[in-house]
Amino acid sequence: MEALFKALIWIQQNLQAPKSEYNSFGKYNYRSLESILAALKPLLAQQHCGIRFADDVVEHGGRTFVRSTLFFFNDKGESISTTAEAEHSATKTGMDSAQITGAASSYARKYCLNGLFAIDDTKDPDSNAYMQQTQEPVKKTPTRRTRTSSTTSAPATTPTAKDPRYQSIQAALSAVKDIDGLIDLYEQHKMEVEGNAEIKAMFSRRKQELRVITF
């Protein structure tokens, strides 16, 4: 196993997998499974090593998870493995069952790679460091003393009160239970969100609500 561990140490020291992807709604950079593999494969070839994945489904306390096992091996027949799990949701807004399974598999495989090859993900959206990095500072507005008449303004009308399209979007936002689900929903309707300030504001409000609930 000495040769395999030497190769692993070398790969850990030389692997460069920058967070080249950007989520404009979540406002964070991230690395995808595909980008990690693209950076890793040339190093594996140099060390005459390879990897393979095997997935299965497990259950913990009535919740279903996709468990991915990563096998790292060399041309001498030496091999080690590591595992990671990602929860398989029964439903997810805008995704069919195959897409849900594929997303959970990709997530688990990515964290197998992170663990074995010492890839740092401390600023991913599910970490406290990410929250501290992206939390927008509250801007203080200087107060100005003015004389005003005592008038009562009508409450602001929300988009959901008039337009059925907004009602359906609000229903979809309410069904989202975590930040990952909100990001998935945003990606599915990115053009519509970015092209409509009211819809974008609805997504932003839901993001703030989920931050309070999740963290």
Between CA 199 and CA 29 the distance in angstroms is 23
| Token pair recorded at residue 28 | 């964070």
Question: What is the average pLDDT across 112-132?
Answer: 67
Q: Where are the domains of the chain?
A: 2-128, 159-215
Q: Quick one: pLDDT at residue 209? A: 84
Instruction: Specify the fold of 2-128.
Output: Enolase-like; domain 1 (3.30.390)
Q: Quick one: pLDDT at residue 127? A: 42
Q: What percent of the chain has pLDDT over 70?
A: 73
**Residue 165: which pLDDT band, with cuts at 50, 70 and 90?**
low
Between CA 112 and CA 35 the distance in angstroms is 14
